[in-house]
Amino acid sequence: MNFLLDEVARATLRLADAGVPSPRTDAEELAAFVHGVRRGGLHEVADSDFDALYWECVARRAAREPLQHITGRAYFRYLELRVGPGVFVPRPETEIMVDWAIETLRAMDVADPLVADLGTGSGAIAISIAQEVPRSRVHAVEIDGRALSWAKRNIDASGHGDRITAHLADLRMALPELDGGVDLLISNPPYVPTDDAAQIPPEVRDYDPAPALWSGPDGLDMIRELEAVGRRLLRPGGAMAFEHGDGQGIDIPRLFPEELGWRDVRNRKDLAHRDRFVVMRRSDGA
């Protein structure tokens, strides 16, 4: 085993002992970051290039600082995003919801679909939609000024800023100028129950911003609010998708009843085959 791989193996054991959920992956990602290569290019790094900075990064990760805060980057679909303190780190699970949204937009008989991304965080969802649905116009809403600054940075770097408008606003009252005209509303809202705080991993509990996490004792407070927001913003026939936590999917459909103008309310699964997000449409006569 060469020196670099031996050091990565030692780092993996250290991270595993610290309770890091994916120790080997994180040890390799940190090595790639330190040496300015992709994870798959570690074999190109010469032994003599190994640096003590690596062990500083490993120590930070062992203390449960998020990997993405150490490297300053997060990957989402086809994007490499800048992230750090003050912004929610995008998760791979959300990519499946965005895939559904993109396919839904492509199937719409709308030349320039209008999209609202509520709680944009890093801008991951908004930028992905703008990139993959080239004629879409996306409004990205964020209540937290620190998070919005990260979103703007990523939007500016994406090359799609001409079709993405960032707003500092409470998602419950945002975008009144678009009432009744939005083709698709998408959100990764806060949905962590405050009652579960003690069980939340430290990478999440201690680093992700509170407005992106907590949503009442059962985690559904903001999702309840989304019912009225979707009813206000969506055009008849418009679509909505939002993410939720494990076990919440069973309670959500009843919050979007047919008598309030909702139809086709369905739970969708993530790659682990767990209910992860809900989709629905406004009735054509709504």
Q: How do residues 183-212 score in pLDDT, each as one tens digit?
A: 999 999 999 999 998 899 999 999 999 999
* H/E element, 102: helix 93-107
Would you say 183 and 239 are in contact if contact means Cβ atoms under 8 Å apart?
yes
Query: What is the band of 50 on the pLDDT scale with cuts at 50, 70, 90?
Result: low
Q: Is there a binding annotation on residue 258? A: no
Name beta bridge partners: 114: 137
211 assigned to a ligand binding site = no
As a whole number of angstroms, the distance between CA 162 and CA 146 comes to: 22
Does the annotation flag 25 for ligand binding? no
| 3-class secondary-structure state, position 256 | coil
Tokens of 98: 């965005």
Is 66 a known ligand-binding residue?
no
Confirm or deny that 136 is annotated as ligand binding: no
34 residue type, one letter: V
Question: Residues 87-110: pLDDT tens digits?
Answer: 999 999 999 999 999 999 999 999
Percent of the chain with pLDDT over 90: 84
pTM above the 0.75 mark? yes
Q: Are the beta carbons of 237 and 281 closer than 8 angstroms?
A: yes
pLDDT 10s digits, 254-270: 999 999 999 999 999 98
Is 2 marked as binding a ligand?
A: no
Q: Which of 166, 62, 42, 61 is nearest to 116 (CA)?
A: 166
Does 188 show up as a binding residue in the annotation? yes
pLDDT at 7: 85
**Better-predicted residue by pLDDT, 41 or 77:** 77
pLDDT over 50 at 1, yes or no: no
Q: Is 71 annotated as a binding residue?
A: no
